[in-house]
Structures are given as structure tokens and as C-alpha cells.
Amino acid sequence: MLLGFEPGTSWKQDKQCNHYTTQDLQPGDKGLDWAARKRIAFATAHGLEYLHEHCNPKIIHRDMKAANILLNEDFEPVLGDFGLAKVMDTKTTHVTTQVRGTMGHIAPEYLSTGNSSEKTDVFGYGITLLELVTGQRAIDFSRLQDEEDVVLLDHIKKLLRAKRVVDIVDEKLQSFEGREVEMILQVAMLCTQSFPEDRPRMREVVRMLHGIGLEQRWAEWKQLEELRHQHHFSQNFFIWVEDSTLDQQDATQLSQPR
């Protein structure tokens, strides 16, 4: 399990481990091909499931991100950096603390209320999956140069709505299994829903990574996401119409005789 450091083992957490790139690897070193990324995704899910479901008291990592997954020379993953972790009684639903963590990986409810739970880790895991597939950072201001969203989650949602899955995958990946990429993206979207109650538990995530129950959950997500998108669009349209009406009124008033 991904619970710690094995004595005598040489663990690496270099730039390529943080951001899943191969540009800094020395000749002869292995890069992160699709098989390695998939292995990291599955192993991390099993590790979080163990922390949440099989530890008593349960453990919330609270800083789930790609940079905290340590890799050895064979790219076998270990979940590291438990500096922000909290131990919780199995009957406790959440803990309230000062907000700490990494922007882009922090769940919305934790950011707004300070409440963290297993679902906080689920959100961070979903963002980590997006990092694995895309090779990009959770927040990257360089995307503004291409008029894209700074936040990776928003960027991916836009590409999914446009059915541009190919544009999501890291261009450094020479080969990958398209269906596997789609499945991991679907799991990532389910894990990063705004409300914690909508996100799956890690034991469900593990099952979905193996294809169990994913199809139904994904169909429900697509339907709900379409409603969210329509609601967001209608709100923005209402604001635009309201502003336009006010502008017209101001113009009319200014043109009246004084």
C-alpha cells in the first residue's frame, strides 16, 4: 500500500515526478508512458481507499496532488507528505481547520468553510488524474496565452463539451489506449464535482477504475453537467440583458432635455 517510505529503497521526487514530464530525465531513464500513469492512478486510488475505509481511526490526507506521489526507479508509486493529514473517528463526518493545501487541488467546500473530509481527498485525487492524463498543472497562467482557462478543471470541461478528447491527452505520450483515457477522465470528472455529496467514495472510485458502475454514474454526470451549464449560461445571459437594459435607459435619460 501507498502508506510510507520503505527503508533501503531509493525514492525519487524530481521535476518529472511532480509534473509527469520526461524532459529532465537522463539518458537511459524511464519516462512516464501511459502504462506508468495508469499504474499510478490505480495504486493511488487503492492507497486512499485504505486510508479512508480500512484504517481505524481513518486518515484524511488533505493535500492530494501529483507532487505528493513519490516514485522509485521503476515508477512504483507511494503516497507521501502526510504533513497536513488528519486522523478522524469513523463516526466523524468532517474536521474544521484553517485552510491549507495547494490551490487548484483544494476542494471548494474546504476552501470556503474549512471543512475537510474523505471527499476532500477525492477531489484532490480527481485533479491528480487530470494532471496524469494531460501532463499539465492544476493552475497554469501560461494557458492565458492561448485564451484558455487558467484552472485545469475548467479547461478540461470545455474540451469535453467540445468532444476534443484528443486535445486533452499529454502530447508527450507516444501511445495510449483511448478507452482507458476516457474512463480515467470520466472518473476524474465524477471526483471533482463541486458538492462533496455528489462525489464518489474512494471504494467506489476503485470499482469505477475497473469499469464497475462507471457507465451509469457517467450518464448521470453528463445529464447533471448539462443542466449546470445551461443554468450558468442563462444566469450570464440575464446579467447581460439587465446590463444592456440599464445602458439603454441611461442613454435615454441623457438624451432628454434638461
* Catalytic positions, written as ranges: 63
DSSP letter assigned to residue 50: I
**Rounded distance, CA 187 to CA 200, Å?**
9
CB neighbourhood size of 108 (10 A): 14
Cell of 241: 440583458
**Rounded distance, CA 68 to CA 48, Å?**
13
Backbone Cα Rg of the chain: 21
Do 58 and 118 meet the contact criterion of CB atoms below 8 Å apart? yes
**How do 86-88 and 77-79 pair as beta strands?**
unpaired
